Structure formats: structure tokens, C-alpha cells
């Protein structure tokens, strides 16, 4: 049993969070994570996060994360409306399964959508998604006094990170950081939330 | 318990729709066509957004009040069976539905492929099958 990835969408259909867990090389993956958390204290974890975002592409699939997130949102929204129409209830859609994966869905009353992909034989992960919302999202995002809620893309976090001077800073790096100012989809600089989610998912019995 | 059966042709058009129980909302025939088209599109996309390579399209959709099982034939026709959430062994039933389809729809010389199914014998066979299940 495995957990593949996690998406969070806000109610403006914007992908505000994406994280992928690789299961091919668990030992090297763990070491990458360990280094990223140690270096994140120096560089703010920003460049590390971007490199993690780029490696998030599905093997044999050259879709960008932005396009993929749009498709996921479209599928989930269509199925939600499909279920609503057939059952006449507000939050009927729980999950769907294909031959290779299972997608679990949880929507908060405020319209935030939590989506997790696991292998097809995992039982319902809706309680897990609810826990991520209640225990992690509310704690680390909603209660974060620096969050700006007119734009849920954690902009305030990234700007404070940019203010931190980096030793050995050259022009190329500066340009790169200028580019990252245009926050791509699924890009969150709230490192505490990211670390907490990662730790929580890895602690689950269904994660192997 | 079987709630309903939908048959969607390879182009996403609804060619057969029948309810066997009252649990689901009654919709207009136009709404059913829209739902079938939506499902057809979603089915195609779900194989693209897979986190692992070479996934099929959506096979089982779980909701609080029902479960939808989709099987696609090699020719692209989709059979959707809507059952109660606890229903087991749908595969056997799906196969029997497909048997009926082959016998009374595909072997019917007056049936136009990809067009709505109008066959009394298919209807009667389904009624018998569902009442036995």
C-alpha cells in the first residue's frame, strides 16, 4: 500500500499545495528529505522546494504540474457535480478507483478541496484528509498571523524568505530567485506546514 | 441492490438508461445525456492524471449513497451499473448484462450501432436478471 501524492485546491480552483511521495528509492528519498530540512534553515528551503516541484512530474508524462492540477480539479469537480445530481445530496463524492490508483476526496464547508492519490487497494482515506485539514491546515496555515487570505498562495511566506541574504550569491542565483517570485501552482513556502504534512503522511500505516 | 444501468457508446452518447429502484433522483432525459457525456470525458482524463504509469480510466466511483461500477468493452462501449454502497460481486452481473447486450442488441439486425437501444427482449432480460440478483 502506498500514498502517491496530495493536492489542496482553494475555492478559486487554484492548486495551493502539492506534494509527491516517491516509493522507488525510499532510502535515498529519506536522505534527500533530511538534507532539505537542514538546508532549509539557511536558504529558507525555497530553492529546495522548487527542485522538488520539478521532480514531481509523472514518469512518462510530460504534463506540467499546473496543467495536471487543472485536470485533477476538473475531474473532481465534474464527479462531485455528477454525484450531486444523481444522489441529490451535497457532499456525496468519496473516492474513485482505476486499475492503478485510487483518488480520495474531502471538501471542507469553506470550499477547500483535499485530494490524495493512493494505490487502488487502500481503504477510504477521508478521515486522513479531514485530519490534515483540522490538525495541520488550521494549525499552521489558518492560525499563521502572516497569512494573507485575499490571496491564499502563501505570498507573505515567500517574500520573507526572499529577504534572507544567501552567502555566495551570484547573478544567476538572483535571477533564478526573481523567477520564483512568480509563484507556480502548488508552490507553498510555508515550510512548517509542508514538513508537518510530510511527517503525518509518513506516519500512516498505509504509507510504505 | 441494483439502482440503475447506463450504457454509453464509444462517442460518449447515452444509448440506454434504465432505473430499477427509486433511490436515485429522477432526472430529465437531457440531464442523463449530460451526465453520460461528463462521465465519458472524466473517464478519459482519469487515465491521464494517474500518479503511476499506464492506468485505466475510472472503474469504481464511490459516493455516500451509491457505488458506480464502470466496465469498458474492447470496442469502447461503457456499461455503468449503479448499486448500493455495500454491493458485492458486481462483475458477475456485469458479465450477464453484457451477455444480454450481445444476444439481444448486437445480434439484432435492425439495431444501428452507436444508436439508442430499443429492444423489448433486452428490457425483459434485464428485468429478469435484476429481479433474480
Residue A208 counted as domain residue:
no
In the structure grid, which three cell numbers stand for residue B75, read together? 470496442
Query: In angstroms, rounded to a whole number, what is the distance separating the alpha carbons of residues B69 and A28?
Result: 39
Contact B38 A5 (CB under 8 A): no
User: What number is the average pLDDT over the span A187-197?
Assistant: 77
The pLDDT, as a whole number, for residue A23 is 66
Contact B64 A95 (CB under 8 A): no
Residue A29 has pLDDT above 70, yes or no: no
Count of domains in chain A? 1
pLDDT tens-digit readout, B100-112: 999 999 999 999 9
By C-alpha distance, the chain B residue nearest A95 is: B62
A contact residues 81-110, partner B, Cβ 8 Å cutoff:
81-83, 85-89, 91-101, 103
Residues on chain A touching B56 (C-beta within 8 angstroms): 98-100
Residue A93, min C-alpha distance to chain B (Å): 4
Residue A111 counted as domain residue:
yes
Per the CB < 8 A criterion, the answer to whether A130 and B64 are in contact is no
Residue with cell 527542485: A51
Name B130's Cβ contacts closer than 8 Å, sequence gap at least 6. Answer: B2, B20
Q: Is B53 on the interface with A (CB under 8 A)?
A: yes
For residue A158, the enclosing domain spans 3-203
Residues on chain B touching A99 (C-beta within 8 angstroms): 55-56, 59
Interface size A-B, in CB pairs within 8 Å, comes to 103
Q: What is the 3-state secondary structure (H, E, C) of A12-75?
A: CCCEEEEEECCCCCHHHHHHHHHHHHHHHHHHCCHHHHHHHHHCCCCCCCCCCHHHHHHHHHHH
pLDDT tens-digit readout, A138-157: 888 888 777 665 554 443 33
Cross-chain CB nearest to A92 (options B31, B56, B63): B63
Q: Is A165 on the interface with B (CB under 8 A)?
A: no
pLDDT tens-digit readout, A77-126: 999 999 999 888 777 899 999 999 999 999 998 888 999 999 998 888 99
Quote the Cα angle for B67-B71-B77, to 5°.
Answer: 125
The pLDDT, as a whole number, for residue B59 is 92
Closest CA to B90 of B118, B117, B129: B129
pLDDT band at residue A12 under the 50/70/90 scheme: confident
pLDDT above 90 covers a percentage of chain A that reads 23
Q: Is B75 on the interface with A (CB under 8 A)?
A: no
Q: Name the burial class of residue A195, with classes exposed (0-12), middle (13-18) and buried (19+) by CB atoms within 10 angstroms of its CB.
A: middle
Residue A163 counted as domain residue:
yes
CATH of the domain at A125: 3.30.450.70
Structural domains present in chain B: 2-132 (3.30.450.70)
B122's enclosing H/E stretch is: helix B120-132
The pLDDT, as a whole number, for residue A102 is 93
pTM for the structure as a whole: 0.77
Q: pLDDT tens digits, chain B, 133 residues: what are they?
A: 899 999 999 999 999 999 998 888 888 889 999 999 999 999 999 988 888 888 888 999 999 999 999 999 999 999 999 999 888 888 899 999 999 999 999 999 999 988 999 999 999 999 999 988 7
Secondary structure (DSSP) of A97-161: E-SS-EEEEEE-TTS-EEEEEE-TT----HHHHHHIIIIIIIIIIIT-TT--SSS-S-HHHHHHH
Strands of the sheet containing B14-19, edge to edge, are A15-20, A3-9, A113-118, A102-107, A93-97, B60-63, B67-72, B78-83, B2-8, B14-19
Q: Is B42 on the interface with A (CB under 8 A)?
A: yes
Amino acid at each position: 500500500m502506498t500514498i502517491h501524492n496530495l493536492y489542496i485546491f482553494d475555492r478559486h480552483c487554484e492548486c495551493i499545495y502539492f506534494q509527491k511521495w516517491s516509493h522507488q528509492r525510499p532510502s535515498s528519498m529519506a536522505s534527500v528529505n533530511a538534507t532539505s530540512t537542514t538546508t532549509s534553515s539557511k536558504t529558507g528551503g525555497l530553492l529546495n522546494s522548487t527542485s522538488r516541484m520539478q521532480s514531481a512530474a509523472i514518469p512518462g508524462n510530460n504534463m506540467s504540474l499546473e496543467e495536471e492540477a487543472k485536470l485533477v480539479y476538473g475531474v473532481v469537480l465534474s464527479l462531485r457535480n455528477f454525484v450531486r445530481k444523481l444522489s441529490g445530496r451535497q457532499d456525496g463524492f468519496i473516492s474513485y478507483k482505476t486499475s492503478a490508483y485510487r483518488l480520495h476526496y474531502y471538501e471542507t464547508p469553506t470550499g477547500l478541496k483535499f485530494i490524495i492519490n493512493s494505490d487502488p487497494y487502500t481503504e477510504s482515506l477521508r478521515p486522513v484528509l479531514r485530519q490534515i485539514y483540522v490538525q495541520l491546515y488550521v494549525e499552521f496555515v489558518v492560525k499563521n498571523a502572516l497569512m494573507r487570505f485575499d490571496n491564499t498562495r502563501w505570498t507573505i511566506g515567500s517574500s520573507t524568505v526572499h529577504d534572507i541574504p544567501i552567502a555566495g550569491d551570484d547573478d544567476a542565483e538572483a535571477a533564478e530567485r526573481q523567477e520564483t517570485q512568480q509563484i507556480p501552482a502548488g508552490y507553498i513556502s510555508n515550510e512548517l506546514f509542508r514538513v508537518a504534512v510530510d511527517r503525518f503522511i509518513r506516519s500512516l500505516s498505509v504509507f510504505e | 441492490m441494483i439502482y440503475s444501468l447506463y450504457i454509453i457508446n464509444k462517442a460518449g452518447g447515452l444509448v440506454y438508461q434504465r432505473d430499477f429502484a427509486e433511490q436515485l433522483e429522477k432526472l430529465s432525459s437531457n440531464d442523463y445525456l449530460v451526465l453520460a457525456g461528463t462521465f465519458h470525458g472524466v473517464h478519459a482524463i482519469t487515465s491521464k492524471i494517474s500518479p503511476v504509469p499506464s492506468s485505466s480510466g475510472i472503474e469504481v466511483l464511490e459516493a455516500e449513497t451509491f457505488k458506480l461500477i464502470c466496465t469498458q468493452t474492447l470496442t469502447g462501449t461503457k456499461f455503468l451499473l449503479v448499486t448500493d454502497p455495500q454491493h458485492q460481486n458486481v462483475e458477475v452481473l456485469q458479465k450477464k448484462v453484457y451477455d444480454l447486450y450481445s444476444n439481444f442488441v448486437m445480434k439484432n439486425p435492425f439495431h444501428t450501432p452507436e444508436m439508442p437501444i430499443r429492444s423489448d427482449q433486452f428490457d425483459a432480460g434485464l428485468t429478469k436478471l435484476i429481479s433474480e440478483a
